[in-house]
Amino acid sequence: MSKNFSHLDHNNQPIMIDVSDKDITIREATAECTVILPDVVKAALDDGEIWSAKGPVVQTAIIAGVMAAKKTSELIPFCHPITLESCKINIYSTEENNLTVRCICRLHAKTGVEMEALTGASIAGLTVYDMCKALSHDIQITNTRLIQKTGGKSDITTNSRAKP
């Protein structure tokens, strides 16, 4: 079966998908990224939090991620403007003392929230980088991916390690 890009019309011109005939359903998406910390930043981790001159890193990253998820349609051209009903970001230390950023977005709508969850996780990870770069520029943000989406035409669960 051949798949086509959904955001191109029959003339290969970019379009926003018409969702006017779709049903409103409960939509939820979970995305995450990994922030790989160099040893100097790992040493600054104190019970899962890092305090920088700019403030509490994890708490600030959570706030930034939620703000970004709400602005996804302003950042990605063909995302529909939606009103999130829930956006939760959890940042936790891995066994290697790196950070996993997980974003879960939920709403009742005609379109999904995958891009909002991906944006929330990404911006939270970038905020960790911004706040810790004074210690090292060797921080890496990796493995940004959709973990799960429910609602709409199909539910998707990707291959991922399970953490809270």
Q: How far apart are CA 99 and CA 148, in angstroms?
A: 20
Enumerate domains of the chain plus CATH numbers: 25-152 (3.30.70.640)
Distances (CA, A) of 83 to 28, 72, 111: 13, 11, 11
Listed in sequence order, the DSSP H helices in 43-90 are: 57-70, 72-75
Task: Determine the longest span between alpha carbons in the chain, in angstroms.
Answer: 55
What local confidence, expressed as pLDDT, does residue 160 receive? 58
What local confidence, expressed as pLDDT, does residue 164 receive? 44
* Residue 34 confidence (pLDDT) above 90: yes
Q: Which residue has the tokens 């040893």?
A: 39
* Residue 154 confidence (pLDDT) above 50: yes
- Per residue in 111-120, pLDDT tens? 989 999 999 9
What local confidence, expressed as pLDDT, does residue 17 receive? 84
Asked if residues 35 and 120 have their Cβ atoms less than 8 Å apart, the reply is no
Catalytic residue IDs = 130
Q: How far apart are CA 6 and CA 16, in angstroms?
A: 9
- Per residue in 91-129, pLDDT tens? 999 989 899 999 999 999 999 899 999 999 999 999 999
Q: How far apart are CA 95 and CA 161, in angstroms?
A: 13
Q: Which residues, 6+ apart, have CB-to-CB distance to 88 below 8 Å?
A: 103, 104
What is the model's pTM?
0.89
Q: Where are the beta strands (DSSP E) in the chain?
A: 25-36, 51-52, 55-56, 86-93, 99-109, 140-150, 156-157
